[in-house]
Amino acid sequence: MNNNQLTQALLLLRKNPKYLLGLLIIIFLFVIFLISVITSLTGFVKKGSPLELPETKQIEIQQQADEEFSKQINLIESKYPWYENLPEKNNKYFVAFDEKEQTFYVSLYSNNNPALNGEYKNQLYLDLEKIGVATQSYKFNFTQRASIQ
């Protein structure tokens, strides 16, 4: 299309508002179409905040995430069958196990008394062995506490 043709087309549009309106409608519909395609391709529909995503898509993604999560939990529990049976907090100690570090983190409520430290540690080892922990296979990190809070 050369300049003359373009000028004539513009003049035609100016003389006939119906043509102009028709052109605007076509442009508007095309923009709506483009927005729909882009949002369906990207998944997310941004509307400032909060974000939205079609419900079925959310469930599909979350189901996959929950399945992966469950596999990992099952893996941990099969590797450490005693994991959920660690002793409750008591007046001698509180124990937690960090599987990444392969370390038991222990708070001893011995009030910095060396005699009690030994006694409470022995009690901890005994309690862990009762639930099947091979205590010699893991590291222990002890923190002295004044007393149970």
* 41 touching another protein, by CB under 8 A: no
| Selection from 70, 71, 87 nearest residue 132 by Cα | 87
* 20 touching another protein, by CB under 8 A: no
CB of 55 to another protein, least distance (A): 4
Residues 6+ apart with CB under 8 A from 56: none
User: What is each CA distance from 147 to 74, 112, 115, 118, in whole angstroms?
Assistant: 35, 9, 15, 15
* 61 touching another protein, by CB under 8 A: yes
* 114 touching another protein, by CB under 8 A: no
Q: What is the amino acid identity at position 38?
A: I
The whole-angstrom separation of Cα 21 and Cα 29 is 12
Judged by CB under 8 A, which of 7, 8, 16, 39 binds another protein?
39
Binding mask 64-103 for another protein (x = CB under 8 A): xxxxxxx-xxx-xx-----xx-x--x----xxxxxxx---
Residue 141 pairs in a beta bridge with: 105
The whole-angstrom separation of Cα 136 and Cα 84 is 20
Total of residues contacting another protein (CB under 8 A): 60
Residues that bind another protein (CB under 8 A): 21, 25, 28-29, 32-33, 35-36, 39-40, 42-47, 49-59, 61-70, 72-74, 76-77, 83-84, 86, 89, 94-100, 105-107, 143, 145, 148-149
